[in-house]
């Protein structure tokens, strides 16, 4: 059991996370060292002032001055440039380790020179513990740093120590060992936190991807069902009013072509297509004898016919998926000059897709047989649309429609 715990103590991150973990640790250490460099600069300045004030030994004063110079240079280098990801490894090895070695070396040499002064032993203790608590370093790096710091103590301080030697040496050794253990525990905890965080992040990403995939499948399924319903309704309308059989499909395709020529987005072109498919949905509520009447319509009958955009609008508003195109259907009989219905909108007050529907609807109606008249030729219909440009129809839409006749005539075309 103890062997397993010891192995866990020296465990490294999983292989697939090691590079990311190393990058994170290096950057964290860099940020901590950047702040710690200011603390070290302040401590070095204070130590130099105190040493001069109390007339300390020449060796201590010189050492404090050297520490001050190195701390100043270190603090300055940290603020010259923010390292890029490619430079971080270099900065980590030079500035971060340079700072650690500087402060550790200073406290070690102080104690080695005057091993009998308790405050210098305390300074060394604080430095060693601070390094363990602040920086996340590998166990072998910490072991190398701390064991190196003990060499001056063993070779220089011990001969100068007054009796007894054992308690002081044991205290320093225990302090170094405890600091190493603390460093390793914190490093291992950092590995655990990083592994858990990354695992949760990956699981969350996988869950989001799965939910998104299922949502897309569900949405596609719903769209397929809606498309089936729309095609069924248009077929029903064709049966209800045989003279308009295929009219909805023709208006839908023509509207989509115009939208594409006008540079509308794919989403708007799609809306133009589906608006064309259902633009006459309200006619299912118009009495069949009025729809199929061969003679002129009475004024009251014409008023009923004029209600079909509003009826279609009301039906579409009941569907969450189709409510977005309800306004286009409502206004597809508005005129550019404001004399249309149901709201007498004028010019750009009319939704652009409704403007497109108006042209596409009129084109197919003019070139198709009706109970009360024969179909026009394409040339006659195009001249009629040009004639009403700026009156009944939007000029930009008419221009785009004329281009569709140029680009799409005699070409196979499939709506998306």
Q: Does 277 fall in a domain?
A: yes
- Give yes or no: residues 189 and 255 share one domain: no
> Has residue 206 been placed in a domain?
no
* In-domain check, residue 416: no
Sequence-distant (≥ 6) Cβ neighbours of residue 394 within 8 angstroms: 336, 347, 350, 352, 355, 358, 359
User: Which H or E run includes 148?
Assistant: helix 139-152
Q: Say if residue 176 is in the same domain as residue 63.
A: yes
Residue 377 is given by DSSP the state: P
Residue among 123, 105, 122, 114 nearest 157 (CA)? 114
User: Is position 181 within any domain?
Assistant: yes
Q: What is the mean pLDDT of residues 256-276?
A: 93
Residue 362 has pLDDT above 90, yes or no: yes
User: Cis peptide before 74, with omega less than 30 degrees from 0?
Assistant: no
Residue 356 sits in the same domain as residue 262: yes
Single residue among 131, 165, 198 that ends a domain in this structure? 198
Give the pLDDT score at 47. 79
Residues 233, 105 share a domain? no
48 and 158 co-located in one domain: yes
How many CB atoms are closer than 10 A to CB 235? 14
Does residue 327 sit within a domain?
yes
pLDDT tens digits, 272-297: 999 998 898 888 888 888 887 877 88
Instruction: Tell me what pLDDT residue 400 has.
Output: 93
Q: Mean pLDDT throughout 238-261?
A: 83
Are 184 and 234 members of one domain?
A: no
Q: Is residue 210 part of a domain?
A: no
Same domain, 224 and 321: yes
Identify the domain containing residue 67 by its residue range. Answer: 2-198
Kindly state the helix (H) or strand (E) to which residue 223 belongs, with its residue range.
Answer: helix 166-240
Summarize the confidence of residues 66-88 as an average pLDDT: 75
225 and 126 both lie in a single domain: no
> Concatenated DSSP letters for 42-97?
HHHHHHHHHHHHTT--HHHHHHHHHHHHHHHHHHHHHHH-PPPTTTHHHHIIIIIH
Residues 252 and 381 in one domain: yes
Domain membership of residue 227 (yes or no) is: yes
| Same domain (yes/no): 15, 131 | yes
CATH number at residue 277: 1.10.3210.10
Listed in sequence order, the residues at least 6 apart from 262 whose beta carbon sits closer than 8 Å to its beta carbon are 352, 356, 396, 397, 400
Provide the whole-model pTM: 0.50
pLDDT tens by residue, 159-194: 555 555 556 666 777 777 888 788 878 888 888 888
**198, 232, 261 - which closes a domain:** 198
User: What tens digit of pLDDT does each residue of 7-48 get?
Assistant: 555 667 777 777 888 888 878 888 888 888 888 888 888 877
**Low-confidence winner among 237-241, 244-248, 402-406 (lowest mean pLDDT):** 237-241
Do 193 and 222 fall within a single domain? no
Residue 91 has pLDDT above 50, yes or no: yes
Q: How many domains is the chain partitioned into structurally?
A: 2
274 and 142 in a common domain: no
Which pLDDT value is given to residue 371?
A: 67
């Amino acid at each position: 059991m103890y062997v397993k715990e010891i192995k866990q103590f020296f465990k490294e991150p999983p292989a697939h996370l090691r590079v990311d973990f190393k990058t994170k640790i290096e950057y964290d250490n860099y940020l901590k060292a950047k702040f710690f460099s200011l603390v070290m600069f302040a401590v070095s300045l204070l130590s130099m002032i105190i040493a001069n004030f109390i007339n300390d030994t020449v060796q201590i004063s010189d050492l404090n001055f050297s520490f001050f110079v190195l701390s100043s240079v270190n603090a300055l280098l940290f603020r010259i440039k923010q390292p890029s990801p490619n430079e971080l490894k270099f900065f980590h090895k030079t500035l971060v380790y340079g700072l650690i070695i500087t402060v550790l070396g200073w406290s070690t040499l102080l104690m080695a020179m005057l091993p009998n002064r308790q405050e210098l032993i305390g300074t060394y203790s604080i430095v060693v513990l601070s390094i363990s608590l602040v920086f996340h370093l590998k166990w072998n790096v910490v072991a190398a740093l701390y064991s190196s710091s003990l060499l001056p103590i063993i070779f220089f301080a011990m001969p100068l120590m007054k009796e007894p030697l054992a308690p002081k040496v044991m205290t320093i050794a225990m302090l170094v060992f405890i600091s190493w253990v603390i460093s390793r525990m914190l490093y291992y905890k950092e590995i655990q936190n990083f592994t858990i965080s990354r695992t949760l992040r990956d699981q969350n990403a996988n869950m989001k991807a799965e939910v998104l995939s299922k949502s897309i499948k569900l949405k596609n399924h719903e769209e397929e069902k809606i498309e089936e319903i729309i095609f069924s309704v248009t077929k029903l309308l064709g049966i209800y009013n045989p003279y308009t059989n295929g009219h909805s499909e023709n208006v839908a395709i023509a509207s989509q072509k115009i939208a594409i020529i006008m540079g509308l987005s794919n989403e708007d072109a799609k809306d133009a297509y589906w608006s064309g498919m259902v633009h006459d949905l309200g006619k299912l509520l118009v009495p069949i004898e009025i729809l199929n009447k061969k003679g002129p319509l009475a004024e009251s009958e014409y008023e009923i016919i004029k209600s079909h955009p509003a009826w279609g609008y009301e039906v579409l508003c009941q569907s969450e998926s189709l409510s977005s195109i309800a306004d286009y259907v409502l206004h597809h009989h508005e005129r550019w000059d404001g004399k249309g219905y149901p709201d007498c909108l004028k010019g750009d007050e009319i939704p652009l897709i409704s403007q497109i529907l108006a042209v596409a609807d009129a084109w197919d109606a003019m070139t198709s047989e009706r109970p009360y008249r024969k179909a026009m030729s394409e040339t006659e219909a195009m001249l009629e649309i040009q004639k009403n440009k700026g009156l009944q129809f939007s000029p930009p839409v008419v221009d785009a429609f004329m281009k569709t006749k140029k680009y799409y005539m005699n070409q196979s075309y499939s709506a998306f």
